[in-house]
Structure 1
Amino acid sequence: MNPATPAPLDAAASRAGRPHDARRDMKVTDVDVWVVNLPLVNPFTSSFETKTGETRTVVRIRTDEGVEGWGETMWGRPVAAIVRSMAADLIGTSPFALEGFHRKQHMVPFFYGYLGYAAIAAIDVACWDAMGKATQQSVTDLLGGAVRDEVPITALVTRADAPGSTASALPAALAEHARRVVTEGGFEAVKLKGTKDAAGDVAILRALREALPDVNLRVDPNAAWSVPDSIRAGIALEELDLEYLEDPCVGIEGMSQVKAKVRIPLCTNMCVVRFEDFAPAMRLNAVDVIHGDVYKWGGIAATKALAAHCETFGLGMNLHSGGELGIATAAHLAVVSSTPVLSRAIDSMYYLHADDIIEPLHLENGRLRVPTGPGLGVSVDEDKLRHYAAVNEREGDLTG
């Protein structure tokens, strides 16, 4: 049936004077959860870890109408346990009843923090996928329709990309690596994952800028620098025309002090991570760009609401990457495709994974094509899902 065609009246509904709505009457019957480990192509180093793979939690909901919805979220067994604990509240309800689900689970993040947001997001995304399939609409269209069909992603550079380099040789080695990645992949933006060594990061960024004069250049130390080091490094970096400086130091107060002294836009995904953080950050004039994330903010609607906040207050917005595989990346693409303010190259580690549990997304010229099929528009390879779930059962969650 065409979704635009009114549903027929059943006898009881007709007597009650209301149309029968099969979508509203559809009920979730099963919630399945897997934890998977997938390898990265190369090690990935930040200021606090080096990792060789990703651990992700994958969720499938099934309905009495035969509709399946898939979700995927950050982290592994602790998140999977929270998802399983919420499953009983989902079974017997409609995947369209998301507001009721979120209201019932609103204390989960209070008790579990990021893990709670991630668990809620797994189910949230699975419900959006099911809603799209039930109505034969893409999630992008359910969110308002596409304003872009392709999404540029950022080339990510870490010290692990130049193994064995001495400190003095490291800037040139990473600059050559980045130049090669940009040339081969067609990326428009490059982000350096910084370390506690602010002066070393400055030297690397100078080499990156010299090698790549036209790319949008960023750095993210993950709050590893002190406020004085952030100010010193920020002033030194002003001549490089960075797109933004992401989380150089800890906290809204520290970011505010840096922003008062440095003429580079400041971005965060560490000090504005809940809606409760938004007003203090605005009052202290602490940030210019906020990184959203469906899995850190607790779902698709929350991420869209964050975009509305950013537009209202004249801020930029981008998306953080926590190592999304194909299902989670498809949800991010739907959000970006339907959200005008998300106009920058997003963070995505998708291209760094050695494999996936879906038919691969299309990546060309540094851009991911937004899937257009019903729901998230992706097809899960259940053999690969079982294979990588077995890897997690043997090895446990990857921690670095």
Structure 2
Amino acid sequence: MPRPEPPRQPSPLLVPSFNELLAGAHVVSLPMRVKFRGVTVRESLLLQGPAGWGEFCPFPEYGDAEASRWLAAAIEAAWQGFPAAVRTSIPVNATVPAVPADRVQEVLARFGRVDAVKVKVAERGQSLAEDIARVQAVRSALPHAAIRVDANGGWDVPGAVKALARLAAVGLEYAEQPVPTIEGLAEVRARLRDAGTPVLIAADESVRKETDPLRVARAGAADLIVVKVAPLGGVRRALEVVAQAGLPAVVSSALDTSVGIRAGLALAASLPELPYACGLGTVSLFESDVTLDPLTADDGAIRLRDAVPDAGLLERYAASADRRDWWLARLRRVHARLTL
């Protein structure tokens, strides 16, 4: 495999003033159908600019430095727009949160036709037996679908090797971020290979949460990478990371509304190659969305199109005054970091 190039600096982003951001800011609070990574209500700050809409929704626990990449991505979408597309239909996977096995059918029913499924595993407080039962329920419901599991770094190395040896029996496409560290990923990958366990390793947090998102490729710690627009600072920056990493890429979301999903679709639509179904079908996990034409899958794919929030939905799901103040204060702090 060719050695990945050192990261290049992305093109300078023209950052609008805080008042320009504020003029088009809407804070929403959307209920989830099922708990997803501990989230039952997803808050987001939407920004309207001259090129369209952007979404700023870093999780509350993220610090301002990390959140600044999410704001850069939102500004790119709303003030700059997206690169040219090479495809207009994006294949997507269904996503099954860490629900009991008897709820798997209920979750899958919201996605329509399904060719690939991502199943959450290693949830805190749950057992490997529960993970196995959930994955087996997916396989029983969809005998021919590609199944990938996502541990969000929830296992240690021995636990990951043990779990993936068991889960491999259902036929896994890959395992996403089984352990937290890059060194751990490399060790899990090597142990699985030595044991003859046919499971590829995908890196997610080890790409999007690292100051150097290419380190995972240089370490030989993954077979493919998962890329998300907001944590990487925008579509153009994500395209650079994929090109320089030299690994197959899966485009995924960060539990966005359709506005954020639109940016993920822009990335998937502009990649030269798209070998895997994308994790961009998560709007189906919300009770409602901010647009009357949600970016959800139809026959296993999402058609590339814009996401324009509806004024009535923005009003209906407007966050409380104190939460709006919290998000606007965060926006001011993070904006100040971008303009230093």
Q: TM-score range by the shorter chain?
A: 0.7 to 0.9
Alpha-carbon displacement from aligned partner over 1:57-99 (angstroms, at most 9, x marks no partner): 11123xxxxx4532112237899xxxxxxxxxxxxxxxxxxxx
Residue equivalent to 2:232: 297
Amino acid at match of 1:392: S
CA distance in 2, matches of 1:216, 1:119: 33
Counterpart Cα distance in 2 of 1:229 and 1:274: 22
Q: Does 1:59 align with 2:42?
A: no
Q: Distance in 2 between matches of 1:123 and 1:355?
A: 24
- After the TM superposition, which residues 1-400 of structure 1 pair with which residues of structure 2 at under 5 Å, given as runs? 30-32=20-22, 33-40=25-32, 42-46=33-37, 49=38, 51-61=39-49, 67=50, 69-75=52-58, 112-129=64-81, 139=82, 143-146=83-86, 148-160=87-99, 170-171=100-101, 173-177=102-106, 180=109, 185-194=112-121, 195-196=123-124, 197-262=127-192, 263-273=198-208, 276-310=211-245, 313=246, 315-348=247-280, 349-361=282-294, 363-371=297-305, 377-389=306-318, 391-393=319-321
CA distance in 1 between partners of 2:261 and 2:108 (Å) = 25
Structure 1 residue matching 2:140: 3-state secondary structure: helix
Q: Once the 2 structures are TM-superposed, how far is the Cα of residue 179 of structure 1 from its aligned partner? A: 6.0
Shift of 1:37: 0.7
- Whole-Å Cα distance in 1 between the matches of residues 59 and 158 of structure 2? 36
| Cα RMSD, aligned residues only | 2.8
1:252 and 1:275, CA in 2 relative to 1: closer, same or farther beyond 3 A?
A: closer
- Provide closer, same or farther for how the CA distance between residues 117 and 364 of structure 1 changes in structure 2, counting only shifts above 3 A: same
**Ranges in structure 1 where 5+ consecutive residues have no aligned partner:** 1-26, 62-66, 80-110, 130-138, 161-169, 372-376
State the shift of 1:275 in Å: 6.9
Quote the offset at 1:303 in angstroms: 1.1
Match of 1:248, SS?
A: coil
- Structure 2: state its 5+ residue gaps: 1-15, 193-197, 328-340
1:280 CA drift (Å): 3.2
Conserved 8 A contact 1:35-1:76: no
- Deviating above 3 A after TM superposition, structure 1's stretches of 4 or more consecutive aligned residues are 75-79, 174-182, 274-280, 394-398
| Structure 2 Cα separation of the partners of residues 277 and 125 of structure 1 | 23
Deviation at 1:382, TM superposition (A): 2.6
Cα gap change, 1:116/1:179 in structure 2, threshold over 3 Å: closer, same or farther?
Answer: closer
Percent identical residues: 26
Residue 120 to residue 283, structure 1, CA distance change in 2 (3 Å): closer
Query: TM-score if structure 2 supplies the norm length?
Result: 0.78
1:364 aligned counterpart, secondary structure? coil
Which amino acid counterpart does residue 310 of structure 2 have in structure 1? D
Compare CA radii of gyration and give the structure with the larger one: 1
